[in-house]
Structure formats: structure tokens, C-alpha cells
Amino acid sequence: MAIHLYDKFNYRRLIRFVIPSIVMMVFASLYGVVDGLVVSNFVGKTAFASVNLIMPFLMVITTIGFMIGTGGSALVAKTYGEGDTEKAKRLFSFLIYTTMVLGAACSVLGIIFIRPISALLGAEGEMLEICVVYGRIILCSLTAWMLQNVFQSFCVTAEKPGFGLVIMVLAGVTNIVLDLLFVAVFKWGVVGAAVATAVSQVVGGVVPLIYFALPNKSFLRLTGCSIDLRALGKTFTNGSSELMTNLSMSLVNILYNYRLLSIYGENGVAAYGVIMYVSFIFISIFIGYSIGSAPIVSYNFGAENTTELKNIRKKSIVIILTGSVVLTALAILLSPVLSGIFVGYDEGLYELTNKAFTIYSLSFLFAGFSIFASSFFTALGDGLVSAVISFFRTFLFQVLAIILLPLIMGNDGIWWSISVAEMISIILSIFFLVRMKKKYNY
């Protein structure tokens, strides 16, 4: 039985609606894990460290797709809730076309400047050359990657979360199969890993583009449109928190890598790379829930259904907090196994990775609440509050922790940084949820 944005949601219906988004995000992180796993085991830790050194820069660019997807889907869902379906289609179309133009421009600029950027990030010698080769191949598929990020949100808004999941699985399987073929069988090294990822991104971005360009069973379809700078500004403002989140994460990753190079050398960057790959599996559950529930919030806000807004907010907090406890315990228990899968071939690197990830896992106890709070305000169209939560959570608190904790706690302090930052962030999130309750009647 189909579930619609205008339905009344109990726990079962809410979980059924968001499950495809959660699985979609988990699967996206899993095929990223396989990518790193193949590079680490078949190419070596230098290549693995190089890929993780340049990846934050690539993620910075693709944040534009996340921003347009989250900010735009909130605007489109709200418009749909107000009863103007045709306007919702025009806004959707304009935002997709805008993503394609911005993606092409960023791709060209990135390819031109990838070498000096890699050097600026600290790459030199063999690492520099690997960063340049890997980066340029990925940048060739940047537009498709950005579209994939945009459609992750719009498939849910179109009441087709299952279709979004199918696309992600298709892209993921493509990446995994080609990774094993190009790297493990053909021995193409980092080039093979990059080509596999690029092809999977084309699948993830182009297939939904074709779906929405043709007649389909959702209320959204690509149509003619005019340039709407006001809508674009609203989208950018409303999606600024997701831009801030992804941009900050990338910048913080760069800072982490810089500090780890000075403390642990290449092993530190490799260990952090493992943590990033694995931790995103856990974090993606919270992100998937937030993506899946956001259109429901936006629709009911547009329809002025405050009763359902309160219902969604209460149930979401219960689900998030329960999941946080379970995932934290699971991460700590699986730390030795996951570390061994990635870097079991190097005893010293394994011990460092296992210890670091065990400490890092405590952050999952706090992260989900703030991720949901930020997404909740984006769905309500309050980009400012959402951006403030994201900025403090993903940037300011973490940067301060990365700088100060190693001075207080020694080298282990850098692994405690994320947990301390997330713990402080949850206080800020609670403050805004309480303060803005009367304004939005949730």
C-alpha cells in the first residue's frame, strides 16, 4: 500500500516510509567502503592514504548537490502541500537544470586546478601524482555525482523513496563489480578505482534524470521553466545547513589529515580513512532518516497541519535516540573486525585504527539528534537555524576540539575530538528545538 505525504503517521508507517532512504544512504556508504577496501588491499596504503587525502576536496564541490537537493525539496514539498502542483514541477525542473550547469562549470575548474590543490593539501611525490590522477577522473563525472545527490532528496519528495533506493543499489552494484574487475582482476590500480566510481556516479545521476524527464507516476516531472532567482536564493538559503555540514566535514577532514600527518605520519591518514569509511555507514542511518522524514515535515508545514508536525517531531526523537544507543554499542563491538578487514595486513596500522575507531564510536551516541534537528529546521524552511546548528556541530566545535584536545590529552585527544564536539552540539540542538517550538507550532 502506497504511503503519501498527507497521511497520518504512526511509528510503523513512519518507519516504512523512511526505510528506503535509510537503506539508500547505508548502501551508498557501503559501496564507498568497498571502494576503500579494494584500494587498501589491492593497491596499498600509500594509494589508500592518497585517495583519502583528495576526497575531502571532491566532497566540497559536491556539497552544491546536497544543498540544492535538501533546500529545493523542502521548497517543492511545501509548494505541493499548498496545493500548487504545477508550480512545484516548474521549481523542480529549474533546480535540476541549475545543478547541471553548476556541475559542468565546477568540473572544468576542478580538472584545471587539481594539482595545486592536491599539493596544498599536503600531497607530494607519489601521493601527489595519485591524487591528481584519481581526482581528474572523478571530476569528469562530477555533474552526474551532483545530480545523484540532488535526486536522493527529490525521489523522497516525489513519494518514490523505493525508486531512489533502487537507483542507489544499481549505482552501488556497478561500483562494486567494476572495482573488483578493474582493480583486483585487471590490476589498473587507482585508475581502475576512479573509473569504477565515476561510472557508478553516472548511473546514479543519469537514470533518475531520464525517469523524471519521461511521464511517470509521481507528481514531479521535468518540464519547461523560467529562471527564478528568488526560488534559487530560497533554495540556497534553506539548504545552507546541508552545504555547511558537507563543506565543514570536508574542511575538518582536511584539518584532521594535516594534524595526523604531523602526529602519526602516513599511518594516521590511513587509519582516519578507515574511520571515515566505516563511520559513514553508521551516520548514514541518521542522515537517511532525516532525508526520508523531511518531505513529510515540509508538506505538513505547507498544509498548516500542526498536529501532524508535533506527531512527527515526537516520534522522530524517540526513534533517533533509540537508534543512537544501539548503533554506538554495535560500533564498539565491531571495531576490531572492521579494522582488521581494512588494514589487517599491517599490525601497527591495525592497532592504531582499532583504538582510534573505538574512541570515535562514542560520537554516534550524540550525532543523530543534531543531524535530525538540523534537517528538521531545513524542512520547516528555517535555513538560518539549521545552518547555525550545522556550523557549530560540524565545524567550530570540531576545529576547536582538534586543536585543543591533543594539547590537553596527548595524541589520543585527536580521536576524542568528534565525540566531545557532538556532545556539545546536542545541547545547542535542544536549545533551538525548545526556543522555536512556538514559532512553528510543532
Q: What is the DSSP letter of 8?
A: P
Residue 363 grid coordinates: 560520537
pLDDT at 49: 78
For residue 1, tell me if it sits in a domain.
no
**Residue 72 domain-assigned?**
yes
Joined grid coordinates for residue 342: 581494512
Query: What pLDDT is stored for residue 32 in this prediction?
Result: 67
Mean pLDDT of 234-262: 77
Q: Is residue 373 part of a domain?
A: yes
The pLDDT of residue 38:
86
Least confident of 247-251, 289-293, 309-313: 247-251
Q: Which residue in 329, 290, 378, 431 sits closest to 78, CA to CA?
A: 378
Domain presence at residue 4: no
pLDDT class of 436 with cuts at 50, 70, 90: very high
Q: Kindly state whether residue 287 falls inside one of the protein's structural domains.
A: yes
pLDDT-based confidence at residue 1 (cuts at 50, 70, 90): low
Mean pLDDT of 80-107: 94
* Cell 559513514 -> residue: 280
> What's the domain count of the chain?
1
Stretch among 10-24, 117-131, 313-327, 334-348 having the lowest mean pLDDT: 334-348
The arithmetic mean of pLDDT across residues 358-368, rounded, is: 94
Alpha-carbon gap, residue 18 to 297, rounded angstroms: 12
Closest CA to 184 of 30, 343, 37: 37
Q: Answer whether 282's CB lies under 8 Å from 144's CB.
A: no
Banded model confidence at residue 103, pLDDT cuts 50, 70, 90? very high
Question: Is residue 2 included in any domain, yes or no?
Answer: no
Q: Across residues 376-391, what is the average pLDDT?
A: 88
Distance CA 126, CA 254 (A): 19
Give the residue-averaged pLDDT of 202-216: 94
In a domain, 407, yes or no: yes
Evaluate whether residue 184 is within a structural domain: yes
Q: Domain residues for 58?
A: 11-440
pLDDT of residue 81: 84
